[in-house]
Amino acid sequence: MLKVMAASTRIEHVILIAYICLALPSHSAPKDPWEQFRRNRSKLVVTIATDRLEYFPGELADLTLTVENRRPRALEVPDPLTYWFGVVSLEERCPDSYYRPVGIDPDRSPPLEPSPMATRKMKPGEALVTHLRSFDQKLTNRVYVMPYFGAAPDKPGEYRLMYWTAQADFRVVVPLFEGMIRIPWSAREERRYGIEPDQKRLEQKFVHAFLLASGGKHFLCLDKRPFAGKINTKPADSTGRLNWSEFHLDRYSRIAESDTPIAGLIGESDQSGNVQLTWGEQNQRKVVVRREDLIFDRSRGE
């Protein structure tokens, strides 16, 4: 009799355990495949890096984004090369030490339900490397990587770029302004000169080369977007520093540096659109920027 009771008790325990297991949430693979893809994404190693730790206001930046599968098996993930699954975002450090988004436009945020075709199966050990420029619109859903103008922010401070779980911190510092030259370029641009839409005329395009200094170094910079407009603002403030709040050149980069001030700067452009800059005694220093390294408005057929 006792054996029968013991056996009955064991059966009841088995049934009770079965009911408990059925009641507990399941940790098996999710029914929604997108949920599994997102889980797989968390297993990837993601890094984002900038070409500098310090930028000048409006200076161009280069970014490198790496997504790597270090797991021993393939992972199907939301395609990391499209903006559907996370954009490159920019944040600014505020006085309370928190980082807050810069230039967020809710109307341009990624769709909530991406295309079911936008996945990628990453092999074990596979690494995807993407190089971005600050004015690229890839991975940002039709806005620049660095809002608002596609270059380093024009306001000094500390900033952070984010992509998925990766982040890269950089600073914007205000340099000394040491001079500028305006170089006629090998093309003209149609511009309005009156209030009527048909009041247009062809005007000479220019590129601008200028000198900045920071940290004991002197830098030759070139704005790489030829345009026919004029710079009507004063480029330096009363202390000799770059007037960052009114400096409107935002497609420039450093093309040379020196331990001593750069003197005797001369610039010229040939008929092919290449730009040559010379400086120093007897113009012994020279740098050439090719036309293909300049930046144009492709929508206007440039």
Q: How far apart are CA 171 and CA 161, in angstroms?
A: 11
Query: What's the pLDDT at 16?
Result: 44
Q: Same domain for 144 and 198?
A: no
Q: Same domain for 193 and 144?
A: no
Q: Which residues pair with 226 in a beta bridge?
A: none
Query: What's the pLDDT at 89?
Result: 84
Query: What's the pLDDT at 18?
Result: 45
CATH of the domain at 156: 2.60.40.2970
The answer as to whether 237 is a domain residue is: yes
The answer as to whether 18 is a domain residue is: no
- Secondary structure (DSSP) of 221-278: EEEEEEES----S-SB-TTSBB-TTT----SEEEEEEESS---S-EEEE-TTS-EEEE
User: Domain boundary at 172, 201, 235, which?
Assistant: 172
Query: What's the pLDDT at 104?
Result: 54
* Domain that residue 154 falls in: 34-172
Query: In this structure, how many other beta carbons lie within 10 angstroms of the beta carbon of residue 126?
Result: 15
The answer as to whether 19 is a domain residue is: no
Query: What's the pLDDT at 164?
Result: 82
Query: What's the pLDDT at 140?
Result: 59
Predicted TM-score (pTM) of the model is: 0.79
Query: What's the pLDDT at 110?
Result: 45
Q: How far apart are CA 254 and CA 59, in angstroms?
A: 8
Query: What's the pLDDT at 188?
Result: 85
Q: List, for the chain, all residue ranges whose pLDDT scores fall below the cut of 50.
A: 1-9, 11-27, 105-115, 299-301
Q: How far apart are CA 253 and CA 215, in angstroms?
A: 17
Nearest in space to 219 (alpha carbons), one of 272, 178, 276, 170: 178
Number of domains in the chain: 2
Query: What's the pLDDT at 107?
Result: 43
Q: Same domain for 61 and 106?
A: yes
The answer as to whether 68 is a domain residue is: yes
User: Domain boundary at 145, 172, 199, which?
Assistant: 172
Nearest in space to 204 (alpha carbons), one of 226, 174, 178: 226
Query: What's the pLDDT at 84?
Result: 58
The answer as to whether 150 is a domain residue is: yes
Q: Same domain for 187 and 295?
A: yes
Q: Same domain for 163 and 212?
A: no
Query: What's the pLDDT at 117?
Result: 56
